[in-house]
Amino acid sequence: MNFKYIKCINDNTLINNFYELSVDNSSIPLNSKVIPTAQCHIIFLDTKTPIEIEFKNNTYKNNGLVVLGQSYKSYNLKAKASYYNFGINLHPTGLYKLLKTDVSQLTDKHIKLSDIDTGLFSILNPLFEEKNESNILAKKIEKRLLNIELFENKNTRLVDEAIRLIYNNEGIINVEALLKLLPISQKHLETQFKKMVGLTPLKFIKLYKFVNLMKKYESKQASITQLIDYYDYYDLSHFTKDFKLFMDQKPKEYFKSDNEFINNYLKA
C-alpha cells in the first residue's frame, strides 16, 4: 500500500490538498475502518471490482468518480482486488461552492458524481482519462476547479472565517468563542455551517480536534497522555468517550489492531 499527499500550488478555500493511494495484492483482501476526516471529498477509484463501503446499515459499491459527504463516524471499507485511488480533499465549504446545494443532504453518503452534477463530472472525468502522473493530474484539477465560477457570498465568507479560526486553533476552540469573533448569531451560524459543511459547528470542532490528535499520535509527535492534555480533554475517560463516538470502538481495541489503511492517512 502506497500513500502520498500532494499539496496545492495556490492557497484557496476550495481544495485542501490531494492524495494518491495504490493498494496492491499484498494488502488484499482489505477490510479496514476509515476515519472521518472533517472534509468532503471527490475521489476517483480505478478498479475492476467496486470498493464496498459499509456505513449505518448502508452499503455503497464505488468505482469511478465518487462524492464523499462529511461523516461523523468511521465506516468500513472492503476491497477484494487491487485498486488505484486519487482523492481531492476539499475545504469544508468546497463541495457547497462547487455544487451550489445544501451539502448536509450528502452527509454520511457516497454517491457517484455523475448522479449529482453532470457538469462537474464532464469537467473532471476527462482529466482522469488522460492517465497523467499524479502531480500533473493534481495541477490540472486545481487549475480547472479554481477557474469555475463558485457559489460565494457573505455567508460563505463568514463560514470560511469560522473554519479558519478552528484550523488556527487546532480545534481547541468552542462555538461561544467563535461567536465573539464573528458578526453572526448562533442560530444563523449553525444553519449556514451545516448547510455548507454538512455538520454543525460543534460537531465539526469536536471531529477536527480528534483528527488532529490522531495525526500527531501516529506521527509520534507526542504520547497519547500528552495529547489528551494538549487538546483539552478533561481526562482519559473523556477522550475514550469521543474515541468510541468517532471510531465505534474502544481505544485499546483500536491500538491493538492492524490499522494500515488509517495509519497511512494519518502519518502522511
Please give the sequence-ordered ranges of beta strands (E in DSSP) within the chain, or none if there are none.
Answer: 2-6, 15-23, 30-34, 40-46, 51-55, 58-62, 64-68, 75-79, 83-90, 110-112
> Which of 31, 63, 36 has its CA nearest to residue 49?
63
Q: What is the pLDDT of residues 177-187, one digit of tens each?
A: 999 999 999 99
The torsion of the CA quartet 220, 224, 229, 232, rounded to 10 degrees, works out to 90
pTM: 0.94
- Judged against a pLDDT cut of 70, whether residue 268 lies above it is answered with no
Strand pairing report for 110-112 and 30-34: unpaired
What grid cell was written down for 131?
A: 492517465
Q: Provide the grid cell at 67.
A: 462524492
How confident is the model over 228-257, as a mean pLDDT?
A: 90
Residue range 247-262: average pLDDT?
A: 82
Specify the pLDDT at position 186. 97
Q: Residue ranges of the domains in the chain?
A: 2-146
Residue % of the chain over a pLDDT of 70: 99
Cell output for 262: 488509517
The average pLDDT across 90-110 equals 96
- pLDDT tens-digit profile of 138-195? 999 999 999 999 999 999 999 999 999 999 999 999 999 999 999 999 999 999 999 9
What is the per-residue pLDDT across 198-231, written as a single tens digit (0 to 9) for each?
999 999 999 999 999 999 988 888 898 999 999 9
The CATH number corresponding to 2-146 among 2.60.40.10, 1.10.1420.10, 2.60.120.10, 3.40.50.2000 equals: 2.60.120.10
